[in-house]
Amino acid sequence: MPDRSPDDPKVASALRAAQLYYLQDMTMDAIATELGTSRSSVSRLLSHARETGLVEVRIHPPQGQELRLEETIRTRFGIAAHVVPTPRTLSDVERFERVALSAARQLPLHIDSNMTVGIAWGSTLDAISRHLPKKETHNSTVVQLNGAGNTFTSGVDYASEILHRFGQAFGAAVQQFPVPAFFDDPKTKEAMWRERSTRRVLDLQARADVVIFGLGSPFAEVPSRVYIGGYLDRSDYRSIREERIVGDVATVFYREDGSWKDIELNRRATGPGFSVLARTARRICVVSGTQKLASLRGAIAARLITDLILDEHLADQLVGG
């Protein structure tokens, strides 16, 4: 964690600039004059104040005027939604990045001290982790929900970097899960799951207070890493088609009706079963792109989501379908 001590000159200057700007309504030009610096330096100090958690920005819509899409999603599905404004002129990549940035700004509202936070690695969580602001917590742990290894790579570098960014942002301990994303043989998984070292991580996952995940999809314009990273072979793709799979959460696959238990691939997957995820009090899903509509419907049908962060166009498709 960066030094936030008031003895740090940069912290002291950022705090002073933030107080003048947010609490005394002074302009950046006036602050620059008072601090004896330039306007651009004041702008950088204010950015530093936000990025290090000295300042938290929250938006409160007028009482009784909740956004129509969020209210509809809450009423129809029982899910607390945050809809990210995304003009139709945006590309899928731009929409994806905007949703990831908004999610990163929302997460500190749900993560606090003495919490265990489960993280499902993937393209979405990777993007979110790059934008996380700093929030100091105590006695908190970030735990990896699914293995990342395959026949080409251990996956440790990729998954650990995502966890490391979350750990740094919240001052949390990090617990990796060094197993493959998929075992070759279900019996190997069963044996591994009996090992005490593995059991310890599984127990930590099961006790998570919050889990954060994206939705993998074979149809997405922004590719889901599990479908492009060498994790699946030709027979796996055939199984996905034949079993009418529309997506996955932490490498556990499901259909549009939410069913997942009888899917053969899941016998080899290392992510937690949905019956385990369902015991977590807060389950935050971040998703963008209308190509993931079927994936989102399936996740809702499986009752995986308590909190949803999504783009405006996808939200419109969800409530209009």
Q: Render pLDDT for 141-170 as a digit per residue (tens, 0 to 9).
A: 999 999 887 656 555 567 889 999 999 999
Question: What does the pLDDT average to over 264-287?
Answer: 96
232: confidence class by pLDDT, cuts 50, 70, 90: confident
- pLDDT at position 321 over 90: no
Question: What does the pLDDT average to over 162-181?
Answer: 94
Identify the sign of the CA torsion 122, 128, 129, 135. negative
Q: Read off φ and ψ for residue 9, nearest 5 degrees.
A: -55, -40
Helix 293-301 vs helix 312-320: angle between axes, to the nearest 10 degrees? 60
- pLDDT at position 294 over 80: yes
3-class secondary structure, 285: strand
DSSP 126: H
| pLDDT given for residue 229 in this prediction | 65
Lowest mean pLDDT across 58-72, 167-181, 271-285, 296-310: 58-72
If we measure between CA atoms, which residue out of 203, 129, 206 comes closest to residue 168? 129
3-class secondary structure, 298: helix
Q: What is the pLDDT of residues 8-42, one digit of tens each?
A: 788 888 888 888 888 778 898 999 998 999 998 99
Amino acid identity, position 233: D
| pLDDT given for residue 261 in this prediction | 95
Between residues 282 and 53, which one has the greater pLDDT? Answer: 282
66: confidence class by pLDDT, cuts 50, 70, 90: very low
DSSP symbols for 141-199: EEEE-S--B-SS---HHHHHHHHHHHHHHHT-EEE---SBSB-SSHHHHHHHTTSHHHH
| pLDDT given for residue 5 in this prediction | 54
- pLDDT at position 110 over 90: yes
233: confidence class by pLDDT, cuts 50, 70, 90: confident
Q: Can you tell me which residue has the tokens 């970097």?
A: 161
Amino acid identity, position 248: D
Read off the pTM: 0.80
Q: Can you tell me which residue has the tokens 């807060």?
A: 282
Are the C-beta atoms of residues 301 and 257 closer than 8 Å to each other? yes
CA–CA distance, 250 with 144 (Å, rounded to integer): 10
3-class secondary structure, 88: coil
Question: What does the pLDDT average to over 226-236?
Answer: 77
Between residues 196 and 320, which one has the greater pLDDT? Answer: 196
Are the C-beta atoms of residues 256 and 222 closer than 8 Å to each other? no
- pLDDT at position 116 over 90: yes
Burial 102-126 (b: 16+ CB within 10 A, else e): bbbbbbbeebeeebbbbbbbbbbbb
